[in-house]
Amino acid sequence: MEDRLEFGSDGSTTPTHWYNIVADLPERPPPARDPRTHQEASPGNAASVMAEALLAQDAATDRWIEIPDDVRRVYQHWRPSPLYRARRLERELGTPARIYYKYEGYNPTGSHKTNTAVPQAYYSAQEGTRRLVTDTGAGQWGAALAFACAQYDVACEVFWTGSSYDQKPYRRVLMEAFGARVHRSPSDATESGRKATANGDSQGSIGLAVSEAIEVAATNADTCYALGSGVGFVLLHQTVIGQEALAQFALAEDYPDVVISCVGGGSSLGGLGFPFLAQNIARGRETRVLAVEPTACPTLTRGRYAWDHVDQEGYTPLVKMYTLGHKFVPQPIHAGGLRYHGVSPLLSYVRHLGMVDAVARPQTECFAAGLRFARTEGILSAPESAHAIAAAIDEAERCTQTGAEKAILMLVTGHGQLDLAAYDSYLAGNLVDAELTDEQLASFLARLPAVRD
C-alpha cells in the first residue's frame, strides 16, 4: 500500500453531495431564540444578511444535499485532500496502532476553511450579491473567503479584530493579494466601529468585528454576511472531508476505530466526524469521534449545555450550545481558532446525545506534539491541528500499553507556515499553560442568561 491514498480514477474524485447529519438525529437541534423575548427567533434578521440557499441548507432535513457543479469544479483544484499513513510517527512511537492523517493544508489558503468559503461565495454570487463581508479572528477564515470571492467575482470585505490585525500583517497581505479589503476593527466604516472607538476601545474583539460586518450587510442591499464556523451549513460543507476519508479508507482496506479533530467552532470535527457517525448509525460501525480542545478554553469538557449568546456583547440570538458563558475570555493561547466560548449548536446537540467524546490538552503539549509530527511526517501543522495530533499520540501510546491494534485517524486542518511566531515562542521556551480554576469557570457560568427550556 502507498502511504498516500487517492480516490480511484472512475471520475468520482470529490463527493457529489454534502452529508446532513440532521436527517439522522432524533430531532432537529433546538432553533435559535430571540435575545429579548426568549421565544423562537424569526428568520427575518438572518434572512436579510445571508444567502437564501445557505439558510435553506441550515433548515434542511434531507440527508444529502447536492454540491453544485461550479463548486465541485473549484474543489477539484485541491480535493480530494490526501489521506496519509503516518508510518514514521508509528515507528517512533513503537505503537501497534495504525495512524492515519487527512491533510487540509494543500489548498490556496492552507486550511480547511476554503471548503465552506467556496460554496458561500458561489451561492451569494448566484443570488446577485455583489459583496460578502465577514469577521475574522485568527485570519485563516478571512484569507479563505478572500480567495473564494475572487473565484466568483464577488467583492470581499473583512473586519479583523484590531489586536490580531496588528500582530499578523502578513495574513492581511494574503487577503489583499486576493483582492479583499481588510478593515482593522474597530473601524471608521460602521456606526458600531465609530461608537467603540469613541468609547476608547482600540483593540476590538470578535464580537465587535461581527457587529461591524453584520451592520454593513444589513445596510447594503447588494451585500451579504459570511461565516467561517459555528452554523449548520458550515459543518455541512466540511463533510467533504469525512466522506473522502471514508472512500480512502476503503481503498486502504482499513477502517478507523477513532477519528480525531480539534474544536473551536466545531466545523473541522463536524466535517470529519459526521460521515463516520452516519456509518455508525446506518451500518452499526462503532467509530469513536473525539473532539480535542485547549485546556485554556474547555467548552465541551467543562462547559454547560445551555442557552447563550453567540457574541460577547449579547446582541445576537440565543442558541443552545456547550458554552463557558459569553463573557468568557480565554488566555491568549496561540491556537487562535480555538479561543471561542461556545461550540456550534449542531455539534453541541450531537455531543449532548452522547455521539461525540471530548478531551482537553494544554498548548505546550500540543506544540511538542506538532514538532514531533513535523520531524517524523514532514508537515508543520497549524497550532489548532496540533491539538488533534497530541490526542492521537496519546491514543497510540495507550495502544502500546494495551497491545490494541487500533486504526486512528486525525485531521490536520492546515499548515503552520503563517503561525511560525507561535512555534518560535514555544521553541524559545516562552509559552506557559494557563490553568482555568473551578472558581473562575463558575463565575463565567453564573453570568449565563436565564432561559427556560
Residues of the shown chain interacting with a second copy in the complex, contacts defined by CB under 8 A: 2-4, 6, 8-9, 13, 73-74, 76-78, 82, 84, 88, 106-108, 110, 147, 150-151, 169-171, 173-174, 176-179, 371, 374-376, 378-380, 416-418, 420-421, 423-424, 427
Say if residues 320 and 303 touch (Cβ distance below 8 Å).
Answer: no
Shortest distance, CB of residue 377 to a second copy, whole angstroms?
Answer: 8
Shortest distance, CB of residue 378 to a second copy, whole angstroms?
Answer: 4
Say if residues 312 and 330 touch (Cβ distance below 8 Å).
Answer: no
Q: What single-letter amino acid sits at 289?
A: V
Say if residues 69 and 121 touch (Cβ distance below 8 Å).
Answer: no
Distance CA 87, CA 101 (A): 11
Shortest distance, CB of residue 172 to a second copy, whole angstroms?
Answer: 8
Shortest distance, CB of residue 120 to a second copy, whole angstroms?
Answer: 15
- Whether the link from the prior residue into 298 is cis, omega within 30° of 0, is no
Shortest distance, CB of residue 379 to a second copy, whole angstroms?
Answer: 6
- Count of alpha carbons within 13 angstroms of residue 365, beta-carbon side: 18
Residue bearing cell 459583496? 131
Residue 193 burial (10 A CB sphere; 0-12, 13-18, 19+): buried
Distance CA 412, CA 387 (A): 9
306: which strand partners? Answer: 321
Closer to a second copy by CB, 29 or 105: give it: 105
The kind and range of the H/E element at 182 are strand 181-185
411: which strand partners? Answer: 102
| The C-alpha cell that represents 113 in the structure block | 476553511
Closer to a second copy by CB, 119 or 317: give it: 119
| The C-alpha cell that represents 250 in the structure block | 476503503
Distance CA 302, CA 191 (A): 37
Closer to a second copy by CB, 177 or 282: give it: 177
- Whether the link from the prior residue into 68 is cis, omega within 30° of 0, is no
Closer to a second copy by CB, 100 or 444: give it: 100
Closer to a second copy by CB, 9 or 61: give it: 9
Shortest distance, CB of residue 4 to a second copy, whole angstroms?
Answer: 5
Shortest distance, CB of residue 148 to a second copy, whole angstroms?
Answer: 8
Shortest distance, CB of residue 325 to a second copy, whole angstroms?
Answer: 35
- Kindly tell me the number of DSSP H helices and DSSP E strands found in the chain: 18, 15
